[in-house]
């Protein structure tokens, strides 16, 4: 797998909110796929499971067979994978959409957005390798979106059975939010080493050896104390 695609995966893994996605992937997408234009479009969360193709702009507009394919199947496509050569121009005459490729971003079994890529007139069409790479990329995007939109139960600061101090519970809450030691230190105005030492004490008190195990045990204590 090309190194540039690994760079895209790493960038996705490091984003901390949905707003960072576009910025984090800037240049990396264009470099890997050789596209002149691309964008992530996230649908507004709606209570209905129906996705209106009119809500997806650009290469996923209504009447666009590629957008319809992605919406219906939750699978990536480019114009030559579902249309005969030359047929795409009947749907879009834009010079900067000579070739298009779209992939789904799925969260909890529902389409929440699309990743759209286009190439200008006179450039090479997308091929099977591009489609495979887009599929892998959409899997990473979908997994990250699921993590970002998950709402973990809050660790209560009033846990009477917990052996942790109020300050240690503050640290545990930030760990549960996915913050690094450095980020936790910045939030609490303490050094990164102080966070590290605090976590060691917390692990000993709870009889755990990892951050995820600690958070899971605290959530268990919280649910048992309710």
Q: What average pLDDT does range 22-41 have in this prediction?
A: 86
- Helix or strand (DSSP H, E) at 117: strand 110-119
Q: Would you list the domain boundaries of the chain?
A: 3-149, 166-225
Instruction: Report residue 45 as tokens.
Output: 């969360």
Q: What average pLDDT does range 101-119 have in this prediction?
A: 90
- pLDDT tens digit string along 154-201? 665 554 456 888 888 889 988 988 889 988 988 888 889 999 999 999
Instruction: Return the higher-pLDDT residue of 172 and 58.
Output: 172
pLDDT of residue 130: 95
pLDDT band at residue 57 under the 50/70/90 scheme: very low
List Cβ neighbours of 208 (8 Å cut-off, separation of 6 or more): 214, 217
CATH 3.30.450.40 holds for 3-149: yes
pLDDT of residue 45: 45
Q: What average pLDDT does range 98-113 have in this prediction?
A: 90
Q: Supply the mean pLDDT for the chain.
A: 81
List Cβ neighbours of 69 (8 Å cut-off, separation of 6 or more): 75, 77, 82
- Helix or strand (DSSP H, E) at 21: helix 20-25
**Rounded distance between C-alpha atoms, residue 43 and residue 117, angstroms:** 17
Query: If one looks up domain 166-225 in CATH, what number appears?
Result: 1.10.10.10
pTM metric for this prediction: 0.61
Query: Range with the lowest mean pLDDT among 33-47, 132-146, 177-191?
Result: 33-47
Instruction: Return the higher-pLDDT residue of 123 and 45.
Output: 123
Fold match between domain 3-149 and domain 166-225: no
Phi, psi of 15 (to 5 degrees): -70, 145
Using a pLDDT cut of 90, give the percent of the chain over it.
24
Whether the pLDDT of residue 208 is over 50: the answer is: yes
């Amino acid at each position: 797998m090309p190194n540039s695609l690994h760079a895209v995966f790493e960038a996705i893994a490091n984003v901390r909110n949905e707003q960072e996605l576009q910025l984090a992937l800037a240049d990396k997408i264009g470099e890997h796929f050789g596209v002149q234009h691309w964008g992530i479009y996230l649908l507004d969360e709606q209570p209905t499971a129906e996705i209106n193709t009119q809500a997806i702009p650009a290469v996923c507009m209504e009447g666009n067979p590629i957008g319809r394919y992605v919406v219906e199947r939750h699978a990536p496509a480019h114009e030559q994978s579902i249309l005969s050569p030359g047929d795409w121009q009947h749907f879009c005459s834009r010079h900067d959409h000579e070739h298009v490729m779209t992939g789904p971003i799925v969260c909890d079994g529902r389409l929440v957005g699309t990743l759209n890529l286009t190439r200008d007139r006179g450039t090479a069409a997308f091929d099977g390798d591009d489609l495979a790479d887009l599929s892998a990329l959409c899997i990473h995007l979908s997994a990250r979106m699921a993590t970002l939109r998950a709402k973990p139960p809050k660790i209560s600061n009033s846990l009477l059975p917990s052996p942790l101090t109020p300050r240690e519970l503050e640290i545990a809450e930030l760990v549960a939010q996915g913050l690094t030691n450095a980020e936790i230190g910045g939030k609490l105005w303490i050094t990164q080493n102080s966070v590290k030492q605090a976590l060691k004490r917390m692990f000993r008190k709870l009889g755990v050896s990892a951050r995820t195990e600690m958070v899971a045990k605290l959530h268990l204590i919280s649910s048992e104390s309710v």
